[in-house]
Structure 1
Amino acid sequence: MADFESLTQSVISGREAQVREQTAAMVAAGVKPLEIINQGLIAGMNIVGPRFKNGDMFVPEVLMAAKAMAAGIEIVRPLIADTDMPSIGKILIGTVRGDLHDIGKNLVAMMLESGGFTVINLGIDIPAEKFVAAIKEHKPGVVGMSALLTTTMLNMKEVIDLINEEGLQVKCIIGGAPISQEFADEIGADGYAPDAASAVELCKKLLAAS
């Protein structure tokens, strides 16, 4: 009997080496790769998300947990055909032009991945044209933009305006310290997420509605 509970605990505690060891042992014991992912690795992050949202866990701990989960997935992924890799949708994410902050954005990307999404992370300082080119290439269901500076907030509007000009069908969500729901409404974004756990919920909601 595979000890998924123990693997889940290792993910929650962010014990990367232990997660690698336990995952490899399960693979060697013939446990199905998708079971390891869903019942062990992702199950851990499903607990981390709400704890983070409630203030019981903090960013460094969440990053460690996400890193531990990713280490386990790395071991299992080669054993799964791409078609079987669970994905509930594709999200494109990036920090807008002029802004070099990426801790929050990377946290959102990790939480989305652990929530079962396929994530294309464009990085930082991304101009509107680059967002649009990536939307055309990857055809995501949702585009997530982040900004930490008040001076770069308006570059989000630039991206949304260009997406609309190009007639692309994609939901746009925004986040970052200075961002609010009011600002999201003002620039025509489809949603605003105050933290990484909310971003996952918001993406699920938007994709279910589309």
Structure 2
Amino acid sequence: TMIKENLGVKTILGVSNVSFGLPQRELINHTFFTSALRAGLDFGIINPSADTMMRAYDAHMVLAGLDDNAADYISKYSLQADTVKKVEVSDISLKEAIKKGLKEDSFNIAKNLLNEKMPLDIINDELIPALDDVGAGFEKGTVFLPQLMMSADSAARAFDALKEKMIALEDNTKEKQKIILATVKGDVHDIGKNIVKVLLENYGYYVYDLGKDVDYDVILDTIKKEKVTLVGLSALMTTTVDNMQKTIDLIRETNNQDVKIMVGGAVLTRDYAQKIGADKYCKDAMESVRYAKEVFGE
């Protein structure tokens, strides 16, 4: 770091000399290599056949933000090696573009499909099956969180291409089913909630996203004002799970017995969700979609 800052030159390092004469040299080497990369090493002389060295390098690229969407890492270390393969738009379906996380391709393919199919048919034949496939893969551990998010974003872009025609054809007598999402009072983590929101919207639900650190009254007022019958609550910190229970208790106490409540978050379990009075514990975003379908009889 000092050399780069003071002299502005590139750096090259033969990594393995540091471990000469020591046992378990590879352990020392890959730890030293990782430290050097973090300090700004430009070029390392390593043994490319040493698995731990290459794994350390690949992991560093993800953590340093040098592997966009962890695409190379996922390609190398998962069974979904073809997920990040570059393809021509003309060679793939909208379903495949969404599954591969190709946002702009998804938009363009969806737009072209409007010349052949109605928007609702495109959603039912392409968007929803793609999200179902990705969600199933996520549950099995063959699709990973960056892929899930990329696919959800791609489906959203495809939906953008369909919106204008959908509005023109929209049956205003048919209302979308409404869902409230909120991260409970005192909790400022909302990544999981945001993923759930994108998926629910792509499945055709109208989502009132109340944000994070949401006061009890805001949730209660929105339920009453918008006549919502499904609420999703999120909490990531153990210190805010009590606030989730208080929110549920207040919903029940204010004559909202017909309102269904689904909960999620890293600190929750199915048993604890049941204990605090939730109707459904959702271990991931796809579980929330399935429960919404169940609640609304779809």
TM-score by length of 1: 0.89
Displaced runs of 4 or more, over 6 A: 84-88
Distance 1:11 1:109 in 2: 17
1:69 to 133, 136, 155: 155
Partners of 1:173 and 1:189 within 8 A in 2:
yes
Q: Larger relative contact order (C-alpha < 8 A, sep ≥ 6)?
A: 1
Distance 2:172 2:247 in 1: 33
What is the deviation of 1:123?
1.2
Q: In the alignment, is residue 14 of structure 1 matched against residue 85 of structure 2?
A: no
1:78 to 157, 160, 164: 164
Q: What is the percentage of aligned positions where both structures have the same residue?
A: 35
Distance 1:42 1:85 in 2: 23
Partners of 1:12 and 1:44 within 8 A in 2:
yes
Which amino acid in the other structure matches residue 204 of structure 1?
K
Residues 91-110 of structure 1 correspond to what in structure 2 (within 5 A)?
91-110=179-198
Which amino acid in the other structure matches residue 98 of structure 2?
V
1:133 to 191, 206, 221: 221
Equivalent position SS for 1:173: strand
Distance 1:145 1:123 in 2: 10
Aligned to 1:39: 125
Larger radius of gyration: 2
Unaligned segments of structure 1, at least 5 residues? none
Say what the alpha-carbon RMSD is for the aligned residues. 2.2
Distance 2:136 2:116 in 1: 31
Aligned to 2:274: 185
Which amino acid in the other structure matches residue 126 of structure 1?
V
Unaligned segments of structure 2, at least 5 residues? 1-89
TM-score by length of 2: 0.64
Partners of 1:49 and 1:111 within 8 A in 2:
no
Partners of 2:181 and 2:233 within 8 A in 1:
yes
Q: Map Cα deviations across residues 128-179 of structure 1 (whole Å, 9 max, x no partner).
A: 1111111112222210100000001111111112112211231111110011
Partners of 1:96 and 1:125 within 8 A in 2:
yes
What is the deviation of 1:85?
11
